[in-house]
Structure 1
Protein backbone atom coordinates (compact mmCIF):
# COMPACT_ATOMS: atom_id res chain seq x y z
CA UNK A 1 0.00 0.00 0.00
CA UNK A 2 1.50 3.35 -1.01
CA UNK A 3 1.25 6.68 0.82
CA UNK A 4 -0.78 8.94 -1.48
CA UNK A 5 -0.51 12.05 0.67
CA UNK A 6 0.53 15.11 -1.37
CA UNK A 7 3.97 16.58 -0.76
CA UNK A 8 3.23 20.15 0.42
CA UNK A 9 6.63 21.45 -0.69
CA UNK A 10 6.30 20.05 -4.19
CA UNK A 11 2.75 21.38 -4.38
CA UNK A 12 3.88 24.86 -3.32
CA UNK A 13 6.79 24.92 -5.76
CA UNK A 14 4.53 23.73 -8.57
CA UNK A 15 2.12 26.58 -7.86
CA UNK A 16 4.94 29.12 -8.03
CA UNK A 17 6.18 27.70 -11.33
CA UNK A 18 2.68 27.27 -12.72
CA UNK A 19 2.88 23.55 -13.47
CA UNK A 20 1.31 20.37 -12.03
CA UNK A 21 3.34 18.88 -9.19
CA UNK A 22 3.68 15.66 -11.18
CA UNK A 23 5.75 17.53 -13.76
CA UNK A 24 8.41 18.64 -11.27
CA UNK A 25 11.77 16.92 -11.39
CA UNK A 26 14.31 17.64 -8.65
CA UNK A 27 17.96 17.01 -9.40
CA UNK A 28 20.30 17.15 -6.41
CA UNK A 29 23.21 19.58 -6.67
CA UNK A 30 26.44 18.85 -4.87
CA UNK A 31 28.72 21.36 -3.20
CA UNK A 32 26.33 22.91 -0.70
CA UNK A 33 28.09 22.74 2.65
CA UNK A 34 25.05 23.85 4.65
CA UNK A 35 21.72 23.63 2.79
CA UNK A 36 20.16 20.77 0.84
CA UNK A 37 20.13 22.07 -2.73
CA UNK A 38 18.50 20.93 -5.96
CA UNK A 39 17.87 22.02 -9.51
CA UNK A 40 14.13 22.07 -10.26
CA UNK A 41 12.97 21.21 -13.77
CA UNK A 42 9.36 21.99 -14.64
CA UNK A 43 7.73 22.46 -18.02
CA UNK A 44 10.82 23.78 -19.73
CA UNK A 45 11.74 26.04 -16.81
CA UNK A 46 14.63 25.56 -14.41
CA UNK A 47 14.83 26.96 -10.89
CA UNK A 48 17.12 26.45 -7.91
CA UNK A 49 15.90 25.16 -4.55
CA UNK A 50 17.50 25.39 -1.11
CA UNK A 51 15.99 23.48 1.81
CA UNK A 52 16.62 23.66 5.54
CA UNK A 53 14.87 22.40 8.65
CA UNK A 54 12.03 24.76 9.56
CA UNK A 55 14.02 25.91 12.60
CA UNK A 56 16.47 27.56 10.18
CA UNK A 57 13.85 29.02 7.89
CA UNK A 58 14.74 32.49 9.13
CA UNK A 59 18.16 32.08 7.47
CA UNK A 60 16.58 31.44 4.08
CA UNK A 61 14.23 34.39 4.55
CA UNK A 62 17.23 36.60 5.31
CA UNK A 63 19.08 35.23 2.28
CA UNK A 64 16.12 36.10 0.06
CA UNK A 65 16.13 39.67 1.38
CA UNK A 66 19.88 39.86 0.87
CA UNK A 67 19.53 38.82 -2.76
CA UNK A 68 16.89 41.50 -3.25
CA UNK A 69 19.19 44.12 -1.72
CA UNK A 70 22.06 43.16 -4.02
CA UNK A 71 19.74 43.13 -7.02
CA UNK A 72 18.50 46.61 -6.13
CA UNK A 73 22.08 47.90 -6.20
CA UNK A 74 22.04 46.89 -9.86
CA UNK A 75 25.70 46.08 -10.49
CA UNK A 76 25.88 42.32 -9.85
CA UNK A 77 23.61 39.67 -11.36
CA UNK A 78 21.99 37.62 -8.61
CA UNK A 79 19.36 34.87 -8.68
CA UNK A 80 15.95 36.42 -8.17
CA UNK A 81 14.02 34.89 -5.25
CA UNK A 82 10.76 33.30 -6.42
CA UNK A 83 9.31 31.96 -3.17
CA UNK A 84 10.33 31.41 0.43
CA UNK A 85 8.12 29.49 2.85
CA UNK A 86 7.82 26.56 5.26
CA UNK A 87 5.79 23.35 5.24
CA UNK A 88 5.96 19.86 6.67
CA UNK A 89 8.87 20.71 8.98
CA UNK A 90 10.99 22.13 6.18
CA UNK A 91 11.80 25.62 4.97
CA UNK A 92 12.73 26.38 1.40
CA UNK A 93 13.93 29.15 -0.84
CA UNK A 94 13.14 28.86 -4.54
CA UNK A 95 15.06 31.17 -6.83
CA UNK A 96 16.14 31.65 -10.41
CA UNK A 97 18.65 29.17 -11.73
CA UNK A 98 21.66 30.94 -13.21
CA UNK A 99 23.92 29.26 -15.75
CA UNK A 100 27.31 30.19 -14.33
CA UNK A 101 30.71 30.23 -16.00
CA UNK A 102 34.02 30.81 -14.26
CA UNK A 103 35.66 32.37 -17.29
CA UNK A 104 34.85 36.03 -17.73
CA UNK A 105 35.93 39.62 -17.32
CA UNK A 106 37.26 39.75 -13.77
CA UNK A 107 38.02 43.44 -14.11
CA UNK A 108 34.28 43.93 -14.68
CA UNK A 109 33.69 41.94 -11.49
CA UNK A 110 35.90 44.37 -9.58
CA UNK A 111 34.04 47.35 -10.97
CA UNK A 112 30.67 45.75 -10.20
CA UNK A 113 31.68 45.10 -6.60
CA UNK A 114 32.83 48.71 -6.21
CA UNK A 115 29.49 49.90 -7.59
CA UNK A 116 27.66 47.66 -5.13
CA UNK A 117 29.69 49.09 -2.26
CA UNK A 118 28.66 52.59 -3.35
CA UNK A 119 25.22 51.83 -1.90
CA UNK A 120 25.52 53.04 1.68
CA UNK A 121 23.50 53.38 4.88
CA UNK A 122 23.75 55.57 7.95
CA UNK A 123 24.89 52.73 10.25
CA UNK A 124 26.69 49.41 10.06
CA UNK A 125 24.62 46.24 10.33
CA UNK A 126 21.24 45.45 8.81
CA UNK A 127 17.55 45.47 9.66
CA UNK A 128 17.66 41.74 10.46
CA UNK A 129 20.11 39.06 11.49
CA UNK A 130 21.28 36.46 9.00
CA UNK A 131 23.87 33.69 8.78
CA UNK A 132 27.37 33.18 7.44
CA UNK A 133 27.26 29.60 6.28
CA UNK A 134 25.36 28.06 9.16
CA UNK A 135 26.60 30.53 11.79
CA UNK A 136 24.11 33.19 12.92
CA UNK A 137 25.26 36.78 12.43
CA UNK A 138 24.07 39.53 14.77
CA UNK A 139 23.44 42.56 12.58
CA UNK A 140 22.23 44.95 15.28
CA UNK A 141 22.99 48.38 13.90
CA UNK A 142 25.91 50.41 15.23
CA UNK A 143 27.35 53.76 14.11
CA UNK A 144 30.91 52.90 15.15
CA UNK A 145 32.48 50.32 12.84
CA UNK A 146 35.15 49.19 15.31
CA UNK A 147 32.51 48.47 17.94
CA UNK A 148 30.31 46.68 15.41
CA UNK A 149 33.12 44.43 14.24
CA UNK A 150 34.27 43.75 17.80
CA UNK A 151 30.87 43.04 19.35
CA UNK A 152 28.92 41.59 16.41
CA UNK A 153 31.66 39.71 14.61
CA UNK A 154 34.95 38.90 16.37
CA UNK A 155 33.80 38.33 19.94
CA UNK A 156 30.87 36.05 18.99
CA UNK A 157 33.18 33.84 16.91
CA UNK A 158 35.70 33.62 19.75
CA UNK A 159 32.92 32.71 22.18
CA UNK A 160 31.62 30.06 19.79
CA UNK A 161 35.11 28.60 19.42
CA UNK A 162 35.34 28.28 23.20
CA UNK A 163 31.89 26.66 23.33
CA UNK A 164 33.00 24.22 20.62
CA UNK A 165 35.94 23.10 22.75
CA UNK A 166 38.74 24.91 20.92
CA UNK A 167 40.16 26.24 24.16
CA UNK A 168 43.68 27.29 24.99
CA UNK A 169 45.81 30.41 25.50
CA UNK A 170 45.02 31.55 21.97
CA UNK A 171 41.52 32.53 23.10
CA UNK A 172 42.95 34.94 25.65
CA UNK A 173 45.12 36.44 22.92
CA UNK A 174 42.02 36.73 20.75
CA UNK A 175 40.27 38.59 23.56
CA UNK A 176 43.23 40.99 23.78
CA UNK A 177 43.01 41.58 20.05
CA UNK A 178 39.31 42.36 20.36
CA UNK A 179 40.10 44.99 22.99
CA UNK A 180 42.48 46.69 20.56
CA UNK A 181 40.00 46.98 17.70
CA UNK A 182 39.13 50.66 18.35
CA UNK A 183 42.76 51.56 17.56
CA UNK A 184 43.17 49.05 14.72
CA UNK A 185 39.92 50.11 13.04
CA UNK A 186 40.10 53.88 13.42
CA UNK A 187 39.62 54.70 9.72
CA UNK A 188 35.84 55.33 10.05
CA UNK A 189 34.60 53.61 6.87
CA UNK A 190 31.21 54.40 5.39
CA UNK A 191 28.64 51.62 5.88
CA UNK A 192 28.70 50.01 2.42
CA UNK A 193 26.35 47.33 1.15
CA UNK A 194 28.31 44.08 1.51
CA UNK A 195 27.82 40.65 0.00
CA UNK A 196 29.26 39.30 3.23
CA UNK A 197 30.60 35.96 1.91
CA UNK A 198 32.34 36.99 -1.28
CA UNK A 199 34.69 34.09 -1.97
CA UNK A 200 35.46 32.51 -5.33
CA UNK A 201 32.81 29.82 -4.94
CA UNK A 202 30.12 32.51 -4.75
CA UNK A 203 31.14 34.49 -7.84
CA UNK A 204 31.16 33.89 -11.59
CA UNK A 205 29.53 35.09 -14.78
CA UNK A 206 26.02 34.69 -16.15
CA UNK A 207 25.73 35.49 -19.87
CA UNK A 208 28.96 37.46 -19.50
CA UNK A 209 27.74 39.57 -16.59
CA UNK A 210 29.40 39.46 -13.14
CA UNK A 211 27.18 37.36 -10.90
CA UNK A 212 27.06 36.28 -7.28
CA UNK A 213 24.89 34.26 -4.88
CA UNK A 214 24.77 32.87 -1.31
CA UNK A 215 25.13 36.28 0.39
CA UNK A 216 25.31 37.21 4.05
CA UNK A 217 24.28 40.81 3.39
CA UNK A 218 24.82 43.70 5.78
CA UNK A 219 26.33 47.18 5.73
CA UNK A 220 29.93 47.56 6.83
CA UNK A 221 33.49 48.27 5.73
CA UNK A 222 33.79 47.53 2.01
CA UNK A 223 37.23 46.07 2.66
CA UNK A 224 35.52 43.03 4.23
CA UNK A 225 34.36 41.72 0.84
CA UNK A 226 37.81 42.26 -0.63
CA UNK A 227 39.41 40.45 2.29
CA UNK A 228 37.20 37.41 1.75
CA UNK A 229 37.89 37.49 -1.99
CA UNK A 230 41.63 37.38 -1.26
CA UNK A 231 41.42 34.68 1.43
CA UNK A 232 40.82 31.61 -0.73
CA UNK A 233 41.84 33.02 -4.12
CA UNK A 234 40.12 32.57 -7.45
CA UNK A 235 39.68 36.20 -8.50
CA UNK A 236 42.99 37.15 -10.07
CA UNK A 237 44.86 40.46 -10.16
CA UNK A 238 42.56 42.10 -12.73
CA UNK A 239 39.70 42.02 -10.21
CA UNK A 240 41.66 43.81 -7.50
CA UNK A 241 43.28 46.31 -9.87
CA UNK A 242 39.92 47.28 -11.36
CA UNK A 243 38.38 47.76 -7.93
CA UNK A 244 41.30 49.93 -6.84
CA UNK A 245 40.99 52.01 -10.00
CA UNK A 246 37.30 52.60 -9.29
CA UNK A 247 37.64 53.27 -5.57
CA UNK A 248 41.14 53.25 -4.07
CA UNK A 249 41.53 51.72 -0.62
CA UNK A 250 42.72 53.96 2.23
CA UNK A 251 46.07 53.47 3.99
CA UNK A 252 46.29 50.54 6.37
CA UNK A 253 44.09 48.21 4.35
CA UNK A 254 46.71 45.44 4.35
CA UNK A 255 46.47 45.00 8.13
CA UNK A 256 42.69 45.31 8.12
CA UNK A 257 42.48 42.64 5.43
CA UNK A 258 44.08 40.13 7.79
CA UNK A 259 41.76 41.19 10.59
CA UNK A 260 38.68 40.68 8.43
CA UNK A 261 40.04 37.36 7.19
CA UNK A 262 40.36 36.24 10.81
CA UNK A 263 36.58 36.47 11.14
CA UNK A 264 36.13 34.02 8.26
CA UNK A 265 38.88 31.70 9.50
CA UNK A 266 37.18 31.57 12.90
CA UNK A 267 33.86 30.87 11.22
CA UNK A 268 35.45 27.99 9.29
CA UNK A 269 36.93 26.71 12.55
CA UNK A 270 33.48 26.74 14.11
CA UNK A 271 31.77 25.17 11.09
CA UNK A 272 34.35 22.63 9.94
CA UNK A 273 36.66 21.93 12.86
CA UNK A 274 40.23 22.08 14.09
CA UNK A 275 41.91 22.13 10.66
CA UNK A 276 41.52 25.93 10.83
CA UNK A 277 42.83 26.35 14.38
CA UNK A 278 46.46 26.85 13.41
CA UNK A 279 45.55 29.55 10.90
CA UNK A 280 43.44 31.34 13.51
CA UNK A 281 46.26 31.28 16.06
CA UNK A 282 48.83 32.56 13.60
CA UNK A 283 46.60 35.39 12.42
CA UNK A 284 45.86 36.50 15.97
CA UNK A 285 49.54 36.51 16.90
CA UNK A 286 50.48 38.43 13.75
CA UNK A 287 47.75 41.02 14.33
CA UNK A 288 48.74 41.49 17.96
CA UNK A 289 52.36 41.99 16.95
CA UNK A 290 51.39 44.47 14.24
CA UNK A 291 49.16 46.34 16.67
CA UNK A 292 52.12 46.85 18.97
CA UNK A 293 54.10 48.46 16.18
Structure 2
Protein backbone atom coordinates (compact mmCIF):
# COMPACT_ATOMS: atom_id res chain seq x y z
CA UNK A 1 0.00 0.00 0.00
CA UNK A 2 2.76 2.47 0.93
CA UNK A 3 4.74 1.70 -2.22
CA UNK A 4 1.65 2.46 -4.29
CA UNK A 5 0.98 5.73 -2.46
CA UNK A 6 4.59 6.81 -2.92
CA UNK A 7 4.32 6.10 -6.65
CA UNK A 8 1.24 8.31 -6.87
CA UNK A 9 2.85 11.16 -4.95
CA UNK A 10 6.00 10.92 -7.06
CA UNK A 11 3.99 10.97 -10.29
CA UNK A 12 2.15 14.13 -9.24
CA UNK A 13 5.34 15.76 -7.95
CA UNK A 14 7.10 15.10 -11.26
CA UNK A 15 4.56 17.27 -13.10
CA UNK A 16 5.55 20.39 -11.16
CA UNK A 17 1.91 21.45 -10.97
CA UNK A 18 0.60 20.84 -7.45
CA UNK A 19 2.53 20.67 -4.21
CA UNK A 20 2.59 17.25 -2.58
CA UNK A 21 4.61 15.93 0.37
CA UNK A 22 7.98 14.72 -0.84
CA UNK A 23 8.56 10.98 -0.46
CA UNK A 24 11.53 10.38 1.81
CA UNK A 25 11.52 6.62 2.34
CA UNK A 26 9.31 3.56 2.41
CA UNK A 27 9.89 -0.08 3.19
CA UNK A 28 9.33 -2.83 5.74
CA UNK A 29 10.68 -3.01 9.27
CA UNK A 30 9.98 -6.33 10.92
CA UNK A 31 6.34 -7.06 10.18
CA UNK A 32 5.34 -3.43 9.66
CA UNK A 33 5.40 -1.32 6.52
CA UNK A 34 6.27 2.35 6.66
CA UNK A 35 6.14 5.47 4.52
CA UNK A 36 8.08 8.59 5.49
CA UNK A 37 6.90 11.85 3.93
CA UNK A 38 7.95 15.47 4.12
CA UNK A 39 6.02 17.32 6.82
CA UNK A 40 3.85 20.11 5.46
CA UNK A 41 2.12 22.45 7.90
CA UNK A 42 -1.26 22.93 6.28
CA UNK A 43 -4.35 24.97 7.02
CA UNK A 44 -7.86 24.96 5.61
CA UNK A 45 -7.75 28.48 4.13
CA UNK A 46 -5.77 29.56 1.11
CA UNK A 47 -5.86 30.26 -2.60
CA UNK A 48 -8.70 28.04 -3.79
CA UNK A 49 -8.54 29.63 -7.24
CA UNK A 50 -4.89 28.64 -7.52
CA UNK A 51 -5.85 25.09 -6.58
CA UNK A 52 -8.32 25.08 -9.48
CA UNK A 53 -5.72 26.43 -11.90
CA UNK A 54 -3.07 23.93 -10.86
CA UNK A 55 -5.48 21.00 -10.92
CA UNK A 56 -6.27 21.92 -14.52
CA UNK A 57 -2.52 21.95 -15.19
CA UNK A 58 -2.17 18.52 -13.58
CA UNK A 59 -4.95 17.20 -15.80
CA UNK A 60 -3.08 18.47 -18.85
CA UNK A 61 -0.39 15.91 -18.01
CA UNK A 62 -1.42 12.93 -20.08
CA UNK A 63 -0.39 9.41 -21.01
CA UNK A 64 -0.96 7.15 -24.01
CA UNK A 65 -3.37 4.90 -22.10
CA UNK A 66 -5.77 4.90 -19.20
CA UNK A 67 -4.64 3.19 -16.01
CA UNK A 68 -1.33 3.37 -14.16
CA UNK A 69 2.02 1.64 -13.81
CA UNK A 70 0.63 -0.53 -11.01
CA UNK A 71 -2.45 -1.18 -8.95
CA UNK A 72 -3.00 0.96 -5.86
CA UNK A 73 -5.68 1.56 -3.24
CA UNK A 74 -8.78 3.67 -2.75
CA UNK A 75 -8.95 3.82 1.02
CA UNK A 76 -7.99 0.27 1.93
CA UNK A 77 -9.66 -1.26 -1.13
CA UNK A 78 -7.54 -2.50 -4.02
CA UNK A 79 -7.83 -0.27 -7.10
CA UNK A 80 -6.92 -2.14 -10.32
CA UNK A 81 -5.17 0.00 -12.93
CA UNK A 82 -4.52 -2.29 -15.91
CA UNK A 83 -3.64 -0.09 -18.88
CA UNK A 84 -6.02 0.18 -21.81
CA UNK A 85 -7.09 2.49 -24.61
CA UNK A 86 -10.76 1.87 -23.82
CA UNK A 87 -12.00 4.26 -21.16
CA UNK A 88 -15.56 2.91 -21.05
CA UNK A 89 -14.21 -0.62 -20.69
CA UNK A 90 -11.80 0.54 -18.00
CA UNK A 91 -14.61 2.13 -15.99
CA UNK A 92 -16.81 -0.94 -16.48
CA UNK A 93 -14.22 -3.55 -15.50
CA UNK A 94 -11.84 -1.85 -13.09
CA UNK A 95 -14.05 0.65 -11.31
CA UNK A 96 -17.80 -0.04 -11.16
CA UNK A 97 -17.59 -3.73 -12.07
CA UNK A 98 -14.81 -4.36 -9.57
CA UNK A 99 -16.76 -2.70 -6.75
CA UNK A 100 -19.94 -4.58 -7.66
CA UNK A 101 -18.10 -7.91 -7.62
CA UNK A 102 -16.64 -7.01 -4.24
CA UNK A 103 -20.11 -6.06 -3.01
CA UNK A 104 -21.44 -9.46 -4.10
CA UNK A 105 -18.70 -11.17 -2.10
CA UNK A 106 -19.66 -8.98 0.86
CA UNK A 107 -23.24 -10.21 0.65
CA UNK A 108 -24.81 -7.28 -1.20
CA UNK A 109 -26.90 -8.89 -3.91
CA UNK A 110 -30.44 -8.42 -5.09
CA UNK A 111 -31.37 -4.95 -6.24
CA UNK A 112 -27.85 -3.55 -6.01
CA UNK A 113 -26.50 -6.19 -8.40
CA UNK A 114 -29.50 -6.00 -10.73
CA UNK A 115 -29.23 -2.23 -11.10
CA UNK A 116 -25.46 -2.54 -11.41
CA UNK A 117 -25.67 -5.00 -14.30
CA UNK A 118 -28.15 -2.75 -16.10
CA UNK A 119 -25.91 0.27 -15.62
CA UNK A 120 -22.78 -1.54 -16.83
CA UNK A 121 -24.64 -2.40 -20.02
CA UNK A 122 -25.76 1.20 -20.48
CA UNK A 123 -22.33 2.81 -19.97
CA UNK A 124 -21.62 3.66 -23.65
CA UNK A 125 -24.67 5.97 -23.71
CA UNK A 126 -23.02 8.26 -21.16
CA UNK A 127 -20.08 8.84 -23.49
CA UNK A 128 -21.87 9.53 -26.77
CA UNK A 129 -19.93 12.34 -28.43
CA UNK A 130 -17.42 12.51 -25.59
CA UNK A 131 -13.93 10.98 -25.68
CA UNK A 132 -11.83 11.84 -22.61
CA UNK A 133 -8.07 11.83 -22.74
CA UNK A 134 -5.96 9.99 -20.13
CA UNK A 135 -5.24 12.79 -17.63
CA UNK A 136 -3.16 12.27 -14.50
CA UNK A 137 -5.64 12.23 -11.61
CA UNK A 138 -5.30 12.55 -7.87
CA UNK A 139 -7.98 9.88 -7.70
CA UNK A 140 -9.40 10.61 -4.23
CA UNK A 141 -9.77 14.38 -4.21
CA UNK A 142 -12.24 15.12 -1.45
CA UNK A 143 -11.88 18.11 0.88
CA UNK A 144 -9.91 16.11 3.46
CA UNK A 145 -7.09 15.43 1.01
CA UNK A 146 -6.00 18.98 0.32
CA UNK A 147 -4.81 21.97 2.34
CA UNK A 148 -2.87 25.21 2.07
CA UNK A 149 0.60 26.28 3.13
CA UNK A 150 1.05 29.46 5.18
CA UNK A 151 1.40 31.57 2.02
CA UNK A 152 -1.84 30.17 0.60
CA UNK A 153 -0.19 27.73 -1.79
CA UNK A 154 -2.41 24.65 -2.27
CA UNK A 155 -1.16 21.15 -1.57
CA UNK A 156 -2.73 17.73 -2.09
CA UNK A 157 -1.94 14.37 -0.52
CA UNK A 158 -3.18 10.79 -0.01
CA UNK A 159 -3.69 10.11 -3.74
CA UNK A 160 -5.10 7.08 -5.52
CA UNK A 161 -3.45 8.22 -8.73
CA UNK A 162 -4.06 6.93 -12.24
CA UNK A 163 -4.65 8.24 -15.76
CA UNK A 164 -8.33 8.72 -16.45
CA UNK A 165 -11.07 11.19 -17.29
CA UNK A 166 -10.40 14.50 -15.54
CA UNK A 167 -14.08 14.67 -14.67
CA UNK A 168 -13.46 11.95 -12.07
CA UNK A 169 -11.42 14.32 -9.90
CA UNK A 170 -13.89 17.16 -10.29
CA UNK A 171 -16.83 14.90 -9.46
CA UNK A 172 -15.13 13.77 -6.26
CA UNK A 173 -14.63 17.39 -5.14
CA UNK A 174 -18.42 17.74 -5.17
CA UNK A 175 -19.22 14.50 -3.35
CA UNK A 176 -18.55 15.38 0.28
CA UNK A 177 -19.34 19.06 0.71
CA UNK A 178 -17.61 20.52 -2.31
CA UNK A 179 -14.89 23.11 -2.77
CA UNK A 180 -15.28 26.92 -2.98
CA UNK A 181 -16.86 28.29 -6.14
CA UNK A 182 -13.61 30.16 -6.87
CA UNK A 183 -11.92 26.77 -7.30
CA UNK A 184 -14.41 25.66 -9.95
CA UNK A 185 -14.44 29.03 -11.72
CA UNK A 186 -10.65 29.07 -11.98
CA UNK A 187 -10.58 25.51 -13.32
CA UNK A 188 -13.28 26.16 -15.91
CA UNK A 189 -11.58 29.37 -17.04
CA UNK A 190 -8.57 27.29 -18.07
CA UNK A 191 -10.37 24.16 -19.24
CA UNK A 192 -14.17 24.30 -19.62
CA UNK A 193 -16.17 21.17 -18.89
CA UNK A 194 -18.21 19.19 -21.39
CA UNK A 195 -22.01 19.63 -20.94
CA UNK A 196 -22.35 15.91 -20.23
CA UNK A 197 -20.37 16.28 -17.02
CA UNK A 198 -23.58 17.04 -15.11
CA UNK A 199 -24.73 13.45 -15.71
CA UNK A 200 -21.37 11.69 -15.62
CA UNK A 201 -20.61 13.27 -12.23
CA UNK A 202 -22.94 10.77 -10.54
CA UNK A 203 -21.54 7.94 -12.67
CA UNK A 204 -18.05 8.71 -11.40
CA UNK A 205 -19.08 9.33 -7.79
CA UNK A 206 -20.96 6.03 -7.76
CA UNK A 207 -17.55 4.34 -7.66
CA UNK A 208 -16.75 6.02 -4.35
CA UNK A 209 -20.19 5.34 -2.87
CA UNK A 210 -19.87 1.65 -3.77
CA UNK A 211 -16.44 1.63 -2.18
CA UNK A 212 -17.88 3.18 0.98
CA UNK A 213 -20.61 0.53 0.97
CA UNK A 214 -17.95 -2.17 0.80
CA UNK A 215 -15.86 -0.55 3.52
CA UNK A 216 -18.48 0.78 5.92
CA UNK A 217 -21.87 -0.68 4.95
CA UNK A 218 -24.53 1.52 6.57
CA UNK A 219 -26.72 3.52 4.21
CA UNK A 220 -24.22 3.57 1.37
CA UNK A 221 -25.79 0.57 -0.35
CA UNK A 222 -29.14 2.36 -0.49
CA UNK A 223 -27.43 5.51 -1.75
CA UNK A 224 -25.69 3.50 -4.47
CA UNK A 225 -28.99 1.94 -5.56
CA UNK A 226 -30.62 5.36 -5.73
CA UNK A 227 -27.76 6.75 -7.80
CA UNK A 228 -27.90 3.85 -10.24
CA UNK A 229 -31.65 4.16 -10.66
CA UNK A 230 -31.29 7.89 -11.34
CA UNK A 231 -28.55 7.25 -13.90
CA UNK A 232 -30.57 4.58 -15.68
CA UNK A 233 -33.59 6.88 -15.90
CA UNK A 234 -31.38 9.64 -17.33
CA UNK A 235 -30.41 7.36 -20.23
CA UNK A 236 -33.55 5.26 -20.61
TM interval, short-chain normalised: over 0.9
User: 1:128 offset after TM fit, Å?
Assistant: 0.4
- Who is 1:131 aligned against? 73
Q: Secondary structure at the match of 1:136?
A: strand
Query: Which residues in structure 2 correspond to 1:164-243 (within 5 Å)?
Result: 164-186=106-128, 187-207=130-150, 208-243=152-187
The CA RMSD measured in Å over matched residues stands at: 0.9
Which protein is bigger by CA-based radius of gyration? 1
Deviations 1:106-156 (A, max 9, x none): 111111100000000011000100000001011000101111111110000
Query: Which residues in structure 2 correspond to 1:65-76 (within 5 Å)?
Result: 65-76=7-18
Query: Which residues in structure 2 correspond to 1:254-269 (within 5 Å)?
Result: 254-269=198-213
- In structure 2, which of residues 28, 31, 34 is the aligned counterpart of residue 89 of structure 1? 31
Q: Any conservation in 2 of the 1:145–1:185 contact (CA below 8 Å)?
A: no
Q: TM-score, normalised by structure 1?
A: 0.78
- Who is 1:148 aligned against? 90
Deviations 1:224-275 (A, max 9, x none): 0000000002411111111111100112110010100000100111111122
Q: TM-score, normalised by structure 2?
A: 0.97
Deviations 1:175-233 (A, max 9, x none): 11011112212411000000000000001112321100000000000000000000002
User: 1:72 offset after TM fit, Å?
Assistant: 1.0
How far, CA to CA, are the matches of 2:57 and 2:210 in structure 1? 29
Q: Any conservation in 1 of the 2:72–2:80 contact (CA below 8 Å)?
A: yes
Aligned residues: 234
Q: Secondary structure at the match of 1:231?
A: coil
Structure (1 or 2) with the greater strand fraction:
1
Q: Any conservation in 2 of the 1:83–1:93 contact (CA below 8 Å)?
A: yes
- Who is 1:13 aligned against? none
How far, CA to CA, are the matches of 2:176 and 2:81 in structure 1? 24
Structure with bigger RCO (C-alpha 8 Å, 6+ apart): 2
Q: Secondary structure at the match of 2:159?
A: coil
- Who is 1:159 aligned against? 101
Which consecutive residues of structure 2, in runs of 5 or more, have no partner in the other structure?
Answer: none
After the TM superposition, which segments of 4 or more aligned residues of structure 1 sit over 2 Å from their partners? none
Q: Secondary structure at the match of 2:203?
A: helix
Q: Any conservation in 1 of the 2:46–2:149 contact (CA below 8 Å)?
A: no
Deviations 1:83-125 (A, max 9, x none): 0000211111001111011011111111110000000001100
- Who is 2:192 aligned against? 248
Q: Any conservation in 1 of the 2:112–2:221 contact (CA below 8 Å)?
A: no
